[in-house]
Amino acid sequence: MVAAPGTYEAWSGSVRWPDPGSSGLSADPDGDGLPNLLEYAMGSPPLQAGDPPLNSSFTNISGEDYLVLKFRRSATAQDTTLEILASTNLSVWTSQAQSTGPNGFILVNQDAQTSVSESDADQTGSFREVTFQDGTPVGTQPKRFLRLRISK
């Protein structure tokens, strides 16, 4: 994990980029499919290929399955917004929860089963482990998708 020193510019300035063009927000100098903005916001090393620090699963509550999204985020990145969105068709997305800068996530959608929690991911306070549980049972929709959008 690579702690973000406050802003993207400070983080970028602390990295020994292979060439000047590899430091942009959408650049992917390690070729792992994760642009620098995502590497910064999630604390993954931008010059070392790796899997995205994000996974999805299901949880069962009273016989109903719900989508769960888990990921790590930098608690020190001050200039990012992370937003969890849901869709049934991949065209129209609805905000479910949002976090701006180092602030914790707040729920936008207040369904009874929707929840978001955060915990310390590394015992230093630099990284947070986020767990989001969708409030719509999987069986009530033909399809249900979750995504994480990161912006600066």
Residues 25 and 68 reside in one and the same domain = no
Strand order in the sheet with 127-133: 54-61, 64-74, 127-133, 115-120
Residues 135 and 63 reside in one and the same domain = yes
Residues 105 and 125 reside in one and the same domain = yes
**Tell me, what's the pLDDT at 110?**
79
Residue 60 forms part of a structural domain: yes
Residues 66 and 109 reside in one and the same domain = yes
Domain membership of residue 32 as a residue range: 8-42
Residues 99 and 144 reside in one and the same domain = yes
**Tell me, what's the pLDDT at 4?**
58
Residue 96 forms part of a structural domain: yes
> Percent of the chain having pLDDT more than 90?
74
Per-residue pLDDT band at 2 (split at 50, 70, 90) = low
Residue 27 forms part of a structural domain: yes
Q: Over the stretch 78-130, which tens digit does the pLDDT of each residue have? A: 999 999 999 999 999 999 999 998 889 999 987 778 999 999 888 888 889 99
Residues 85 and 131 reside in one and the same domain = yes
Residues 75 and 12 reside in one and the same domain = no
pLDDT over 60 (residue 1): no
Residue 29 forms part of a structural domain: yes
Residue 47 forms part of a structural domain: no
pLDDT over 90 (residue 134): yes
**How many domains, in total, are found in the chain?**
2
Q: Over the stretch 28-62, which tens digit does the pLDDT of each residue have? A: 999 999 999 999 999 889 999 988 789 999 999 99
**Tell me, what's the pLDDT at 122?**
82
Residue 3 forms part of a structural domain: no
